[in-house]
Amino acid sequence: MRIVFAGTPEFAAQAMRAIDEAGHQIVLVLTQPDRRAGRGMHLQASPVKAFAQEKDIPVLQPETLKQNHTDLQKKIAAQEAFQYLSDIEFDVMVVVAYGLILPQAILDLASQSGRHGCLNIHASVLPRWRGAAPIQRAIERGDPATGVCIMQMDAGLDTGDTILVGELKITSQETSASLHDHLAAIGAKLIVKTLNDLDKGIAISRTPQAIEGVTYAEKILKSEAEIDWHLSAIEIDRRIRAFNPFPGSTSSLDGEHLKFWNSCLPSKEQIHQDAIPGRVLGFSGDGVYVQCGDGVIEILEMQKPGGKKIGASACLQSYRTQEKIMQFKKE
């Protein structure tokens, strides 16, 4: 099949690679403009663009797809992208974590006679966690399971009919980074199956989403990173794992802003009834026990400013003296 692919991060690139390996032809890629990243803040191509360049696939990077945008340059770029789409032959459009809203005109273009519309890979079991951050919000909320949906896109926010669903349990050790990788693999497999079926003329069923159980996964903000030690150990543990790799949970110790990358709930809590939330209670090999508003959390991996991610116990060695009480604080 001839495919227009719209996506930006590694989650999308994995699906793109699987589609290419399955023998389908990607005739055009839409991805977000290059962003500055790294210590040198150099412009970097998205993972989707990098793969497209490797395969010599044409790439368009408009900042918006709104042809009536008030900014003249953005408006012209959007119109040129639409014209390019109008002029090429394709069978279906696949959209994965693109980051831009598809206007109705593009949805209509992809749904013309002989085409199969826009298919989306969404990292949740819809209608739960529509929106921008389904992986992180599922962990933060303590969901026992999540999954991936192949969805027929419509004008709403992740409201289209579902075609295929793959489910996955969320373990107590799962971070957003690890769950991302598991779900990306499932999504890649499901989109290839969907495209193969369409290519063979096999009828695919489309199931309207349930009206009940709708939740929205709001975009993750950096302001959510600061740990509130008055929350329960369960809530803090979920947030630390949910915000790995972005934005990374943070707290201050002796005026330094530290990052917290991994944690767990200890099997045998060291409970100090009079301990202040945020106080380090003791060490557990590579980890450290910290008092929360309700219960104790074991911090496993941390990072000093400018340093590397290391075991929490080793990270706190320079702060550690026999008499000193270590107290994390929210700034």
Single-letter residue type at 144: P
Give the span between the Cα atoms of 151 and 163, in whole angstroms. Answer: 6
Give the span between the Cα atoms of 319 and 276, in whole angstroms. Answer: 18
Tell me which H or E stretch contains 44.
Answer: strand 42-44
Residue 228: CB atoms within 10 A of its CB come to 14
Closest C-alpha among 167, 13, 197 to residue 96: 13
Coil, strand or helix: which one is 85? Answer: helix
Give the span between the Cα atoms of 94 and 4, in whole angstroms. Answer: 6
Give the span between the Cα atoms of 25 and 3, in whole angstroms. Answer: 6
- Beta bridge pairs of residue 298: 264, 289
| Residue found by looking up tokens 């990788």 in the block | 181
- Residue 125 among known ligand-binding residues: yes
Contacts of 186 (CB under 8 A, 6+ apart): 147, 148, 166, 168
Burial class (CB in 10 A: 0-12, 13-18, 19+), 97: buried
- Residue 127 among known ligand-binding residues: yes
- Residue 103 among known ligand-binding residues: no
Annotated binding site for (6S)-5,6,7,8-tetrahydrofolate, which residues?
124-127
Annotated binding site, which residues?
124-127
